[in-house]
Structures are given as C-alpha cells and as structure tokens.
Amino acid sequence: MATAPAIPLAAAPMVPAHVPAHLVGSFDIHNAPEMAQDPFAFVSRLHAGPDIFWSTDTMRDGTGDGCWVVTRGELMREILGDPSRFSSKGEAGFSKLIGEDWDMIPLEIDPPMHTAFREILNPILYPRVVARMTEGVVQRANDLIDQFADKDGCEFMSSFGTPFPISIFMQLMGLPQEWMSVFLVWEEDLLRGATPARRVAAAKAIRLYLDTLADERRANPKDDLASLVVTSKIDGRLWTDKEVIGALYLFFVGGLDTVASSLGWFFDFLARNPEKQQWLRDNPQEIPHAVEELVRRFSVVTSRRRCTRDLDFHGVQMKQGDWISLTYSAGSLDPSAFDNPLEVDFHRKGVRHFGFSFGPHFCIGTHLARREMAVALRLWLSRIPPFRIREGSQVARHGGGVFGISHLELAWD
C-alpha cells in the first residue's frame, strides 16, 4: 500500500490511537486553495496515494475530528452497498447542527426502515411520472432561454443553471417560486457558510420554514411532495413530526443544489472545449449518453458513512464510530476503472459512475435529474450559437460537500 501524504502529527492532535502515522494525510475539500481552481484535479491526485487513509481535515460538521478517506471505486461500492457495517445515520448532521435529533429521510436511515420509506417515496419520481413532466421541463427551459437568446451572452448560473432545475423542483415540492432567492441564500449558508454561526442560522431558518409548510399542508393538502409526506402512512400510522421534518429537509437541501451545480460544470467544460460542444450539436441524439459521461467526469457530491463495529477493511483497522468520507468524484475518476479518467469521452462504454451514489441510497431523483440535464443541453445547443467563456471574466468555482460553480460568464456571437 502506498503511503499517505503525511502531515506533522503536531498539526493533527485529533488522530486516534488506532490510526497508523503512515496513513495520516490531509484532504481538505472545503478550504484547500485548489478547490477554487479545479476540485476534480485535486481529487484525482488521491489515486497516487493509498486506497484508504486518515484525513485530519475532511469533516464538514465543524468538530475538527478526522475521518477515513476512500479513494477507489470498488471500495466505495462495497461501503455504500453494506449498511450493516457502514451506516448512513447522521451522514449530513444538520439536526445535530441545531441541537436536535432527527434523521433526514431516507438518507440518514438504514434498512429495513430505509426500504419502507423508499417504497413510499420512490413512485414520486418514477420514469413514467418524469415522462409526464417533460413538457413542463421543456417549457421552463425555453422560457429562460428566451430572456437572453437575442443577446451576446449571459451569466449562466443566475440566468439558467440555477433557476432551471430549482424552479422545477420547487413546483414539485410545493414551494413558492417568489422565495427562490431566499432559499438559495439559506442553502449557500448551510452548505458553505463562512462561519459556524451562519451555518446554524441557516439550518434553523430552513427548519422553521419547513415546520410551517408541514402545518399548512396538513390543514390544506395539495398535489405536491410536501403534502404526500404529511399525509402518508408507514406501518399503518402517519409519519411522526421528526420523520416529516427529516424528509422535507432532505428534499429541500438536495433539490436546491446538485443539478444546478452539475450544469455549471457541464457548461463550463463545453465553453472551454468547442470541439466537444460542436460534436453534441452535430449529434443531438447522443446527448442522453453524453450526460452520463459528463456526470462521471463531474460527480459533485461527497457523502460519508460510519462504522457500526470494529472491523478490518482491506487491511486497515477501523473502529466503531469512525467516519468514512466518500468523495464520489474519486470513484468516478478512478484510473483503475476508467482509461484517461479526466478526459471527457462521449464514446466511452460502460460508464459506471458515482454521480447518483450507489446501493440502497441511490439518488431518488435520478430520473428527473437526467431528464433536466438532457433537456438543458439539447435546447441550449439548438438555440444558442457556439459559446465560450467571456473574455476577461473569472469563473468562480468552489469545493465543499457539493462541488459547484457560482459565477460563469458565457459569450457568443
């Protein structure tokens, strides 16, 4: 096993006794300077080191504790597919952030209860349901493109990348469109707040809003996701207040970030690679497959699991309670699984990426996300001339629990 990029133990006082010094390293997805340049290149360098190492600065909950980092796709699949050894409970930690104790459902619960809740929630976004939503998805994309199609460019994230998927999600969940800007501030502060106080304030604001939403839908149910959550039954009973807030919190946080972040990376890449952009223009029928390759190349999420007992995991001694960080781009860019993993190859076969996770917690919104991404590419490329990064502008990129782009100036003739 290769050795980790060691850091001085004096700088890492929280290293537990069972972690050998040669496996201590640094992998800061939140604050490393490289995250503002190219988070994926930063992640890909992990593959030159060990398959598993202890990072002193990966945790995102502000505790200062370290965790194990797994760098290989097959090991990630083993962890994600085995909740008996690797639990997702507390994975996001938002309730702990505000001194409460509820699980984001179904993300932070394990089988068999996870399975029971997924059976209730899965039908919301079955392929046939998403197919019925396509007309509205197309209309929303066209409406946004109408606002800048006759200009010479736009700031992509604010004009399209963010409002396109988020407005669709908000309609699905039953959230008022006029609150979008407020929700996005809360989301940004929760996930990437500069101080713990900002993260806590955002977490509390979201909690209070979702409490109010749940009460409104109990009194006056509508045809939306929030109403389904508050009116559904499990084991013959209505969901508890903790279960309701846990499910609504998950959908709120997950629905406001991941697809928008992915679109930012897709369009940043295409703006810098005109030959790839032109190939998609010439081969629009290949866009659904191209989406899979782009999701592989730009897998944006980092998740984590916790050891349920002491165990030997591929020669590494882990203790009950140890956290394991799973940066999905490390699996999607694993050179043992993909030739030239940093290259976007629209002809690549057998794309088994981690863009939508793996195992029991495979993303519930996968079908809608894929449809949104494909529609965005197809309509944009059919209506907007060849585009590029606007000369003199700076692209604002960031790391964190979800790698993203906050500012992307595009220009066209």
The CATH number covering residue 138 comes to 1.10.630.10
Task: Name the pLDDT band for 59 (thresholds 50, 70, 90).
Answer: low
| DSSP symbol at 307 | E
- Quote the pLDDT of residue 64: 54
Residue 4 lies in a domain: no
Quick check: 100 and 203 in contact, CB under 8 A? no
Question: Would the CA dihedral through 287, 288, 289, 293 be positive or negative?
Answer: positive
Residue 393 has pLDDT above 70, yes or no: yes
Mean pLDDT of all residues in the chain?
92
2 assigned to some structural domain: no
| Inside any domain, residue 183 | yes
What was the pLDDT predicted at 58?
Answer: 67
* Phi, psi (degrees; rounded to nearest 5) at 301: -100, 145
Q: Per residue in 346-375, pLDDT tens?
A: 999 988 899 999 999 999 999 999 999 999
pLDDT given for residue 129 in this prediction? 86
Query: Residue 277 has what pLDDT?
Result: 98
Spatial CB neighbours of 367, under 8 Å, sequence gap ≥ 6: 125, 126, 127, 130
Maximum Cα–Cα distance for the chain, whole Å? 63
> According to the model, what pLDDT value does residue 210 have?
96
Confidence (pLDDT) at 4:
53
**What would the mean pLDDT of 237-257 be, rounded to a whole number?**
92
The reply to whether 169 falls in a domain is yes
Using CA atoms, how far apart are residues 389 and 407, in angstroms rounded to an integer? 11
pLDDT tens for each residue of 1-38: 445 544 444 444 578 999 999 999 989 998 899 999 99
- Asked, for residue 110, whether it belongs to a domain, the answer is yes
Q: pLDDT tens-digit profile of 287-320?
A: 999 999 999 999 999 999 999 999 999 999 999 9
pLDDT at 9: 41
Alpha helices in 151-273 (DSSP H): 156, 163-173, 180-192, 196-219, 225-231, 241-255, 258-272
Q: Does pLDDT of 63 surpass 80?
A: no
- Flag whether 165 is in a domain: yes
Mean pLDDT throughout 387-392? 98
Least confident residue range of 36-45, 98-107, 121-130 = 121-130
The C-alpha atoms of residue 105 and residue 111 are separated, in whole angstroms, by 12
CA dihedral (293, 368, 29, 102) in degrees, to 10, reads -150
Contact between residue 225 and residue 173 where contact means Cβ atoms under 8 Å apart:
yes
Whole-angstrom Cα distance, residue 355 to residue 330? 11
Name the residue range of residue 162's domain: 9-412
User: How many structural domains does the chain have?
Assistant: 1
Write out the H or E segment, with its range, that includes residue 94: helix 94-97
Give residue for tokens 């699996």: 331
| pLDDT bracket for residue 336 (50, 70, 90) | very high
318: closest CA among 9, 14, 19, 6?
A: 19
Question: What are the tens digits of pLDDT across the range 120-159?
Answer: 998 888 888 888 889 999 999 999 999 999 999 999 999 9
Note the pLDDT tens digit of each residue in 184-236: 899 889 888 878 899 999 999 999 999 999 999 999 999 999 999 999 999 99
Is residue 352, in this structure, part of any structural domain at all?
yes
Cβ neighbours, 10 Å, residue 120: 17
Task: Give the model's pLDDT for residue 2.
Answer: 46
Q: Which of 25, 4, 37 is nearest to 399 (CA)?
A: 37
Q: For residues 124 and 106, what is the distance between their CA atoms, to the nearest angstrom? A: 14
Does residue 3 lie within any of the structural domains?
Answer: no
List the structure tokens of 11.
């700088």
